[in-house]
Structure 1
């Protein structure tokens, strides 16, 4: 939102009730806090660049899963076998330390009368990744959203990611991957279907 003065010219831009100017000042304070000079040449435009980057990195807060999954297709001739998509890369941020989470997502689902375009699965992943996240929560969010909006017979989601809050600070264990999974419907009740999904993403 852009606030205008009496002459009609733009004065301040706001996002979620916070002006860009206030956000830039907060970033300048952080630069001072770490021991930097926010007025030196290399950093003078940094707060502005960071705000621009944050709009992209956290765009998921302004997206709606209902809209992403709104277009479905029912002409599938009774298809009820698994559909899987593997190795969908994502980049997110840990809500505990603001550190990057970088990894990939695998999705499998068994449709019940309707399917969704393949790119919509990737867009759903991207929407949840572009928010502050906990990997366990993100895994469940992707699976539950797909289950609820497509009324699938079952959904399987596996997420593998490297957490920079662990590999670049604290215990500093580079290359360690966290793996989480979430299953619904037939994947919970039928071990053969669950194993089929796990084989398809291995």
Structure 2
């Protein structure tokens, strides 16, 4: 698979008018192929394998929040990066999720060709599925290179997206508590 991707990257380099045999580009197709495989490794991961049983019984029924989790993804429209942070909150219903698993879930979905709106929803649904929470809230704030490096070239634009499930959607007070805590 790496060799096939490398051949495609070599064709792209040629298509750009460059010489893939010049010193600085000799190994670029293979490096680019490996980088792309890493940046899209989420396709080869599953929620069950990532969580690996790290859901624990708990009497806590108050909001749990993990905020400022860095994320890196590739825009499915231009294959350019978007970079930001993700905040996840949930209301446990007898079960809590191991802390590192939030970052792993975020990365699994972010490491796919993606749009931010769908990424936000996928993370929320996964946390809901794994924990059986009474509610889940996810907010992502990201800068998109497709807006900064090309097109409109707006350097300071930030996209924010949110998905609220269960009590976070149904109860304004719960949603507001979450939003206040992630500020």
TM-score range, shorter chain: over 0.9
SS in structure 2 opposite 1:42? helix
1:57 aligns with 2:53: no
Equivalent-residue separation in structure 2 for 1:68 and 1:25 (angstroms): 32
Equivalent-residue separation in structure 2 for 1:167 and 1:154 (angstroms): 35
Equivalent-residue separation in structure 2 for 1:22 and 1:80 (angstroms): 50
Q: Unpaired segments of 5 or more residues in structure 1?
A: 1-14
* Aligned Cα root-mean-square deviation (Å): 1.0
SS in structure 2 opposite 1:139? helix
Q: TM-score, normalised by structure 2?
A: 0.96
Structure 2 counterpart of 1:194, from 154, 175, 178: 175
1:90 aligns with 2:75: no
Q: Which residue of 2 aligns with 1:47?
A: 29
Q: Which residue of 2 aligns with 1:100?
A: 81
Equivalent-residue separation in structure 2 for 1:133 and 1:25 (angstroms): 24
Deviation at 1:188, TM superposition (A): 1.1
Output aligned runs, 1:28-177, within 5 Å: 28-69=10-51, 70-74=53-57, 76=58, 78-177=59-158
Which one has a larger percent helix, Structure 1 or Structure 2? 2
Deviation at 1:26, TM superposition (A): 1.2
Equivalent-residue separation in structure 2 for 1:64 and 1:102 (angstroms): 22
- The aligned length equals 182
Deviation at 1:54, TM superposition (A): 1.7
SS in structure 2 opposite 1:179? strand
Of structures 1 and 2, the larger Rg is shown by 1
Deviation at 1:201, TM superposition (A): 0.3
Q: Which residue of 2 aligns with 1:184?
A: 165
Equivalent-residue separation in structure 1 for 2:176 and 2:61 (angstroms): 17
Q: Unpaired segments of 5 or more residues in structure 2?
A: none
Equivalent-residue separation in structure 1 for 2:129 and 2:4 (angstroms): 39
Equivalent-residue separation in structure 2 for 1:22 and 1:111 (angstroms): 45
SS in structure 2 opposite 1:200? helix
Equivalent-residue separation in structure 1 for 2:138 and 2:86 (angstroms): 7
Deviation at 1:133, TM superposition (A): 0.6
Q: TM-score, normalised by structure 1?
A: 0.87
Equivalent-residue separation in structure 1 for 2:6 and 2:176 (angstroms): 50
